[in-house]
Amino acid sequence: MKKKFLLALSTTKYSKEAIDYAIDLTKQKEAELKVVFILDSDVPGSVFEKLTDIGFIGDRPSMDLQEAISNEYVDQAKQVLVEIKDQSKDMGVECETFLEEGDFGSKCLESIARFSADMIILARSRRSFFSRMFFGSAVDSLLRQAPCEIKIFEEE
């Protein structure tokens, strides 16, 4: 039975190194590759909060601006998935790509179960110990809960 690898990405959890690793490992092990890009539900709100904090926009951003940023977020995710699919095809690796929306950790756990993944490959932004302690980390949560092997790529 073929091994099943899951590569989970988001705008804040994205790594070219993780992508290359997932495709290379899948080829070496003659496994199946599933790639899920999770539109983390917190990101658009964080963008508006930052723009409001620095005074770039008023307290109430327009619906047009919110929609434009959300659409750009979706378009970027779709482009990343197309690039991964093309890179996989060039390497002779079949992969399926999926676009999900929601909480990163929860969607990863759902995807592990849905695909019966033997391994999940993730990227994690380097943050201070105190930042992780006070604000938590989806990757740290997955380390405690995931029923499969986890490979993490630390990004600067």
Name the percent of the chain in helix, strand, coil, to the closest 5: 50, 25, 25
pLDDT score at 48 = 57
CATH class of 4-155: alpha beta
What are the domain boundaries of the chain?
4-155
CB distance 153 to 21 below 8 Å: yes
pLDDT score at 58 = 61
Measured CA to CA, the distance from residue 107 to residue 8 in angstroms comes to: 9
pLDDT score at 17 = 92
pLDDT-above-70 percentage for the chain: 74
If you average pLDDT over every residue of the chain, what do you get?
82
- One-character DSSP codes across 63-114: HHHHHHHHHHHHHHHHHHHHHHHHHHHHTT--EEEEEEEE-HHHHHHHHHHH
Beta bridge partners of 38: 100
The region of weakest confidence among 5-14, 44-53, 140-149 is 44-53
pLDDT score at 45 = 57
Measured CA to CA, the distance from residue 152 to residue 132 in angstroms comes to: 16
pLDDT score at 135 = 39
